[in-house]
Amino acid sequence: MGETQMPTTTPEWTIWAWGVGGVVLILSQAVFRLAPRALSLFDMELAAWHVALAVGWVIFMAYTESYRGFHLQFNPRVVVRAAGIAKDPAPWRIALAPLVAMGLLYGTPRRLLVSRLLVAGIVVLVLLVRLLPEPWRALVDLGVVIGLALGVLSLLGFAVQAVLGRLPNVDPEFPA
């Protein structure tokens, strides 16, 4: 696809918005689905060490998931890949723009492997967390909700910057 450029026409902007917006919807759905269980932690009687662990976990997730994972890696690439889809709009890439923007489809072999292994790992972790008793499940979900919510806000920030003409300078990792 060559060097990625910002959309310039209404159809291109629509495709870009679908790619980025679809990712925002996927992540937001997870936040809203997990938030009630995470917030139930505040209704439980917790020992001081539970509270300390929860605070540490939230800080850890905000840093690792939100900042290092979303802000530094995932979000800039989503915005750039969505712009690439808009500039080279094959019908299947348009239909699946959020998945393409996430790097799950139409990427270098390395990008596809990393993205798919990450999703598989997340699925395994979700299944394992479901087995945890309370308050542990709520505690884990609280950190995940904070990390995802901050990640969504970061993605929206990158999207606003892109609309203002500042596309992140990252390799979209599309196939040659």
> At 1, is the pLDDT very low, low, confident or very high (cuts 50, 70, 90)?
very low
Token pair of 131, please?
Answer: 């087995």
- The whole-angstrom separation of Cα 15 and Cα 132 is 40
Q: What is the reported pTM?
A: 0.93
For residues 73-101, average pLDDT: 97
Q: Is 95 a residue whose pLDDT tops 90?
A: yes
Token pair of 107, please?
Answer: 């990427």
Helix 136-163 / helix 48-61 crossing angle, nearest 10 deg: 30
pLDDT value at residue 107: 96
Burial per residue of 36-60, b for 16 or more beta-carbon CB atoms within 10 angstroms, e otherwise: ebbeebeeeebeeeeeebbeebbee
For residues 90-107, average pLDDT: 97
